[in-house]
Structure 1
Amino acid sequence: MSHTKPDISGRDDLDLLLRRFYTAAFADPLIGPFFTQIAGTDLEVHLPRITDFWERALFRTADYHRNAFAPHAALHAVEPLTAAHFGRWVQLWHATVDGLHLGPNAERAKAQGERIAMALLRRLSGRDADTSGTGPGFVPLAAVELRAAA
C-alpha cells in the first residue's frame, strides 16, 4: 500500500514545514550563519511571524503587515547576501516542501519561494543581478536538479 504525502492544508502544516526548514537552514554552512550569528534569530519569536507570512501567501487567511524586505536589507548591510545564498535557500525550501508535501499548495509554496528569493536578490543587488539561473550563483537550477534526483 503506497502512502502519498498530503498537500499543505493550513497553519499546522506550515508550522511543521517551517520548523523543519529553519532547522536545516540554521545548520547549513552557507546560510546558517546569517540566522545564527548575524541576525541572532530566535526561532520561537520568528516562527509565528513567518508562518503568518506563508499563511497569507498561500491561503490569504492570516494578517501579515510587516516589511519582509527590511530584515534582509539589514543583514545585507552587515554581510552581503549573494545569489549563492538565495539559491541555497531555494534548494533547502524545495527539499523541505518535497519531503513533507505533495500537491498544488506545495507547488505554489515552492514557486512562491523562488519568486521571493529572486525579488529580494534583485532588490538587494540592484537591477543587474543575475537571476537567470545561468550565472555563477542563483540556483533554481539546483532545486530543479534536486527535484529530478528525488
Structure 2
Amino acid sequence: MKRQLSTREDVQFLVNSFYAQVREDATLGRIFNRIVHDWPTHLERLGDFWEMVLLQSGPGAGKFSPVPVHKEVDRTFNRQLEQAHFEHWLGLWFGTVDTYFEGEVADYAKEHAGRMAQILFFRIMEGRAQD
C-alpha cells in the first residue's frame, strides 16, 4: 500500500530504496560504486538533502552544492556522462517514488528531481565548454 511522503523516515526509506537499485544497476552502479566509498554516510547526507527539499526541515539547509560534485564525477569518467545517464537515474527515481508513495510531496519529489537533473546536466556541459 502506498503512503504519503511526510516524515524523515519516509524520506530516508525512499533514498535507501532508490540507491539500493542504483548500486545494482548495470548503467549507474559502475559510476556510483566507483565514486561513493562510504555508502552509509552518503545515504545519510542524501537523506538530509531530500528532507530539506521535500519537507523543508532537517539539517540540510544551505549545506549542499551538487553542481561541483557532479562536474567532478564527469571529469573522473573522462567527460562521458551523458543526458541518458540522467534520464536513466530519473526513471529509477520515478519508479521508486511511485512504488512506495503517493500524493503531493511524492509528485514534488519527481518534479524536483527532473529539474535537478536538467540543471546538473546543463552545468556539466557548461563546465566542459569552459575547461
The answer to whether the superposition gives a TM-score over 0.5 is yes
Shift of 1:36: 0.7
With over 3 angstroms needed to count, the CA separation of the structure-2 counterparts of 1:83 and 1:13, relative to structure 1, is same
Shift of 1:93: 0.1
Supply the distance in 2 between the matched residues of 1:40 and 1:16 (Cα, whole angstroms). Answer: 19
Please give the per-residue CA displacement for 1:95-132, whole angstroms capped at 9, x wherever unaligned: 000000010000000001101001000110139xxxxx
Task: Could you list the structure 1 runs, at least 4 aligned residues long, displaced by more than 4 angstroms after superposition.
Answer: none
Structure 1 residue 61 corresponds to structure 2 residue 57:
yes
Structure 1 residue 70 corresponds to structure 2 residue 75:
no
Identical residues among aligned pairs (%): 31
Match for residue 81 of structure 1?
Answer: 81
Q: Secondary structure at the match of 1:126?
A: helix
Shift of 1:24: 0.5
Q: Secondary structure at the match of 1:55?
A: helix
Higher helix share: 2
Shift of 1:60: 1.1
Shift of 1:62: 1.7
Shift of 1:66: 2.5
Q: Secondary structure at the match of 2:3?
A: coil
Match for residue 29 of structure 1?
Answer: 26
Supply the distance in 2 between the matched residues of 1:63 and 1:86 (Cα, whole angstroms). Answer: 26
Counterpart of 2:66 in structure 1: which amino acid? A
Supply the distance in 1 between the matched residues of 2:94 and 2:37 (Cα, whole angstroms). Answer: 22
- Number of residues paired by the alignment? 123
* TM, length-normalised to structure 1: 0.77
Which structure carries more relative contact order (alpha carbon 8 Å, separation 6+)? 2
Match for residue 125 of structure 1?
Answer: 125
Supply the distance in 2 between the matched residues of 1:19 and 1:63 (Cα, whole angstroms). Answer: 18
Supply the distance in 2 between the matched residues of 1:106 and 1:58 (Cα, whole angstroms). Answer: 8
Supply the distance in 1 between the matched residues of 2:39 and 2:11 (Cα, whole angstroms). Answer: 14
With over 3 angstroms needed to count, the CA separation of the structure-2 counterparts of 1:60 and 1:88, relative to structure 1, is same
User: What pairs with 1:1-150 in structure 2 (closer than 5 Å)?
Assistant: 4-37=1-34, 39-64=35-60, 65-79=63-77, 80-126=80-126
Counterpart of 1:36 in structure 2: which amino acid? N
What 5-or-longer segments of structure 1 have no aligned partner? 128-150
Supply the distance in 1 between the matched residues of 2:17 and 2:82 (Cα, whole angstroms). Answer: 23
Shift of 1:63: 2.8
What 5-or-longer segments of structure 2 have no aligned partner? none
Q: Secondary structure at the match of 2:99?
A: helix
Supply the distance in 1 between the matched residues of 2:41 and 2:123 (Cα, whole angstroms). Answer: 26
